[in-house]
Structure formats: C-alpha cells, structure tokens
Copies of this chain bind each other. A is one copy, B any other.
Amino acid sequence: MKKLKRSARLVEMTQYLLCRPHVLIPLTTFADQYHSAKSSISEDLAIVKEVFEGEGIGELHTLAGAAGGVRFTPKAPKETSLGFVRSLCEQLQQPERILPGSFLYMSDLLGQPSIVQEIGRTFATAFADQAADVVMTVETKGIPLAYATASFMNLPVVLVRRDAKVTEGSAVSINYVSGFNKRIQTMSLARRALKEDAKVLIIDDFMRVGGTIRGMMDLLQEFKATVTGIGVFVESTEVEERLVDNYISLARMTAVDPKTKRVDVYPGSYFD
C-alpha cells in the first residue's frame, strides 16, 4: 500500500481521470489507492476540477452519497473548437487539394492523430448529453474520427462494412443509393455488432447528399436502433436537397469552381 504526497497524488489522479472519461469513480477508489482520507481526496479533486475547467479540458462532477464519486466529462469550449476548425479550413482551401470530380484531398490531415483527437473531442462535446450507447461509422475514412469520438465518450465503436465480410459472421445487408452519383451500393453490419434498441451516434468524415448516412439510418432500422445524433466532419454545400436532417457539421465546403479551381471551406453548422 503506497502513501503518496498530495503533489504525487495530483499527477496520478489527473492521469487516471483523463484515461477514464464518463466513468463514475467512487472516492473510495482513490482513498484506498492512496491510503488517504476522503476529505484529502476531495481537496485534491477540487484542484483538478479548477484546472480542468479553467483550461477547457473538461468538466469534473462530484456526486455525493453512497453511490457517489467523481466523473470526468471531456469538453472542448466552443471558442477553442472554432479556432481549431478555422485553422483546418484554411488548410483545406489550399488549391492543390482539389482532385478531379471536385473531391478534396484531406487524408494527410485525417492522418494526424492530434487533429483526429481534436475532432473527436469536438464531437464528444457536441453529443455529450445524447446518451448514446455506441458510435457507428462506415468504412473507411470515418473510422479514426469515430474512434476518437468514442474514446472521449467511453463508448464502443460499431463499424458498417461495404460488403459482408467472412470475419464478421452473419450480417444484415441493405442496398442504398449513393446520393451524388446515384449508384446502388451495399452496406452491411454484423448481427452481433449491435443490441436491439441501441442508441446510436453516427460519425462520418464527409457528406454531400447524405446517401451513405441515410443508408446507415435505414440499416439501423433493421436492428430496431435509434439514431441519437449525426456528426460529419465536412459537408458539401453544393447540393440542393439532403437526405438527412438534424446533423452537425464541423466544416462546410462550397462547390469547386472548375475555372479558378477555388474552393471555400468555412466552419460548419456546429458553430452557427
């Protein structure tokens, strides 16, 4: 049994809490671990709380009583997220990112774990109160964003595949129409991936008409699941009608001007 000084306890508790977002930790856990009185632990937590909330790391809620404890909820202040998204938008506007078909190359940015983490933290903040059971995405480029979001929310990730895979066992498949080029495509989800009546937060990297997300919503009906929120990193504004309402986007891009090769990218609906 170790007995730590306050200074060492603070370092350890900070690390412990940061690794366990949305988990209710009984004060006795800390008291036992550090061989300290609960009153000392409470004082420690007050210090941690002040720094976490002052620095925009997140909220620390203490619940009194026998079933009580402390819970860390990561939250990014909207101002911080806006500054972060603005700097991403600037990078996304670089003309050399424009690809044939008006796509925007963003794999380099989405390959940076620190950017992916911050996007996840922003989504986790936006959907903190939706009480989702799982985060869902469809392969491929939404995967890191879904994991980052889920890790800040302490939720599992469920992955929709473009085809039923042998490594997933029996699966439910649906056909859907991708909204932009009107192609019929398939997506599937392993039967055992989702419990009935699950509450699902959908995360994806990009949305134009919303056909893929609409497909995920249709697929979820087969599982009697409910969608509690939809978050997309970038939405394109070049469509007139969307197949999806009630989503949050972090950034918006206009249609690419084929003559000037110019694209405007600016903060999305989360910041409206």
The answer to whether A55 and B15 touch (CB under 8 A), given A143-B140, A159-B140, A167-B99, is: yes
Interface check A105, CB cutoff 8 A: yes
A101 neighbours in B (Cβ, 8 Å) = 166
The answer to whether A159 and B107 touch (CB under 8 A), given A139-B139, A143-B140, is: yes
Number of A interface residues in the complex (CB < 8 A) = 58
A51 touches B12 (CB 8 A): yes
Work out how many copies of this chain go into the complex. 2
A167–B103 alpha-carbon span in the complex (Å): 6
Query: Which segment of A62-70, A149-157, A245-253 sits at the interface?
Result: A149-157
A104 neighbours in B (Cβ, 8 Å) = 167
Interface check A197, CB cutoff 8 A: no
A11 touches B47 (CB 8 A): yes
What is the CB-to-nearest-CB distance from A54 to chain B, in angstroms, rounded to a whole number? 8
Q: Which of B113, B157, B158 contacts A113 (CB 8 A)?
A: B157
What is the CB-to-nearest-CB distance from A208 to chain B, in angstroms, rounded to a whole number? 11
Interface check A50, CB cutoff 8 A: yes
A144–B120 alpha-carbon span in the complex (Å): 13
